[in-house]
Structure 1
Amino acid sequence: MSTTAESPLPTFDRGRAVTKSLLGWGVVAGPFYLVIGLAQALFVPGFDLSQHALSLLLLGPLGWIQAANLVLSGIMVLAAATGFARLLPAPRRTWAAVLLGLYGASLFAAALFPPDPMRGFPVGAAGATTASMSGLLHLAAGAIGFVSLAVAAVVIGAWFRHEGRRGLAVASWIAAAVIVLGFMGGAALSATSAGVGMLWLAVVTGWAWLAAASLAAYRMAPRPDC
């Protein structure tokens, strides 16, 4: 008769697996949005990355693709928001969920309310002399989204610091500042190439931060097979 005690089989925690899966969408969202947007930029006539923000693609002949890009990216952000809400302790979980949720919702609103034509795009369209209601709502959606994402970076950065991840905390706070300043500069100088560049900086920084923070949180989340 064997006297060796059998090792217990590892258990699988479905809740932990769901949390990790939700955080994984935060890693995917940014690259997905940028790849789809840049692919359109290469083929849409008259679109110039140095002159136009990706949101203007909503007005082009393939505007439905950019609208779908915004909506699908927004869904991924909402999934990531839920993942952070499941992982972070109270009250940070509530703030993270609400702020990232607002950012995801702002992407839906941006798709619903296209911007006004600008700087010769779409081809043949006259530039708007006064902002339309749709253009104003698009700008408001962007303002709410970028500010919400920046504050989320501050909140989640504070959690990283509490968990001893000081590098991630500092990077999150720097990203928050770049996002806000980039958007403000881009909005103020929207008629110039410098303004477009600042807006690009805000967009890329925001998506890069979300991907890095989601990946770090994914790795910090408890494993489901234990």
Structure 2
Amino acid sequence: MSKGRLVTGPETQANAVRHETLGGSTTLLLLAGTVAGPIFVVLALAQAVLREGFDPLRHAVSQLSLGDGGWVQVANFAVTGLLMLACAIGLRRVLGRGRGGRWAPVLIAVMGVGFVVAAFLPADPGNGFPPGTGSEASFSVTGMLHLACAGIAFIALIAACFVLASRFSRIGWRGWASAGRTSGVLLAIGFAAANSGVVGGPLAMFVGVVIAWLWVGVSAARLAR
């Protein structure tokens, strides 16, 4: 199998040459998606530990964009969103016209755009964070738009897990495909828990995001090979 040719089914010689020609740049684009998840997770965890008053059982990661030092999480959303947009381009190149070749890149691009837009729409304070904020949740237009963008991004990530898993199952990576479907289910459960308002919901959501995003990132790295 020549470098970059992970597409199954009929493929013209011209397409094969195109994959070879774009191999280097495509690899870099795919690896952008590989590093995006770890960057987001490490920065979010560091802030969760260092930011006064933040409780992962009650506060969403989005709230880290508020208050002193909030610019770190704003940058985290924007940079990782741009990295996922780059990954979407790489996926479109390497997946071609096979199963998931259209929808996987679209879904990853939707996730990337959702993160970038959410970066510039601050979340609402609540549950005592940032310090000095009352325990009552507040709702603003920008806060609701932030939730909408982030929600769309995470739903797109869930769907991408299943679409990519379908592709991998088709090319014989059945164990990895099962891991992808499991990742999508875990993120869906965390997403539901976070939106239900139960204690621990934000943490369940974060864990689900970590698992699903890292699976997508490792998938991108495997495709880059």
Q: Does structure 2 retain, via aligned residues, the 8 Å contact 1:187–1:199?
A: no
Give the secondary-structure state (helix, strand or coil) at the position aligned to 1:178: helix
Tell me what 1:213 maps to.
Answer: 219
Tell me what 2:64 maps to.
Answer: 57
* 1:163 aligned onto 2:171: yes
Superposition RMSD in Å: 1.8
> 1:87-115 deviations in whole A, cap 9, x for unaligned?
10315222111100000011112211121
Please identify, of 127-136 and 64-73, the stretch whose mean Cα deviation from structure 2 is larger. Answer: 127-136
Q: Which one-letter code corresponds to 2:33 in the other structure? A: G
* 1:43 aligned onto 2:43: no
Q: Does structure 2 retain, via aligned residues, the 8 Å contact 1:157–1:172?
A: yes
Q: Does structure 2 retain, via aligned residues, the 8 Å contact 1:44–1:60?
A: no
Q: Which one-letter code corresponds to 1:142 in the other structure? A: A
Change (3 A) 1:209 1:105: same
Deviation for aligned residue 1:53:
2.1
Change (3 A) 1:135 1:90: same
When the two structures are aligned, how many residues end up with a matched partner? 206
Aligned mates of 1:42, 1:175 — CA distance in 2? 25
Q: Does structure 2 retain, via aligned residues, the 8 Å contact 1:116–1:128?
A: no
Aligned mates of 2:106, 2:40 — CA distance in 1? 21
Where in structure 2 are the equivalents of 1:42-191 lying within 5 Å? 42-90=49-97, 92-189=100-197
Tell me what 1:22 maps to.
Answer: 29
Change (3 A) 1:34 1:134: same
Aligned mates of 1:197, 1:45 — CA distance in 2? 17
Any runs of at least 4 consecutive aligned residues in structure 1 with deviations exceeding 6 A, and if so which?
Answer: none
Question: Percent same amino acid at aligned positions?
Answer: 36
The two structures have a TM-score, normalised by structure 1, of 0.85
Q: Which one-letter code corresponds to 2:63 in the other structure? A: L
Aligned mates of 2:187, 2:56 — CA distance in 1? 19
Aligned mates of 1:128, 1:66 — CA distance in 2? 23
Aligned mates of 1:107, 1:145 — CA distance in 2? 7
> 1:74-98 deviations in whole A, cap 9, x for unaligned?
0111111111100103152221111
Larger Rg: 1
Segments of structure 1 that go 5 or more residues without pairing to the other structure are: 1-12, 220-226
Aligned mates of 1:55, 1:130 — CA distance in 2? 14
1:197 to 185, 189, 203: 203
Segments of structure 2 that go 5 or more residues without pairing to the other structure are: 1-19
The two structures have a TM-score, normalised by structure 2, of 0.85
Give the secondary-structure state (helix, strand or coil) at the position aligned to 2:102: helix
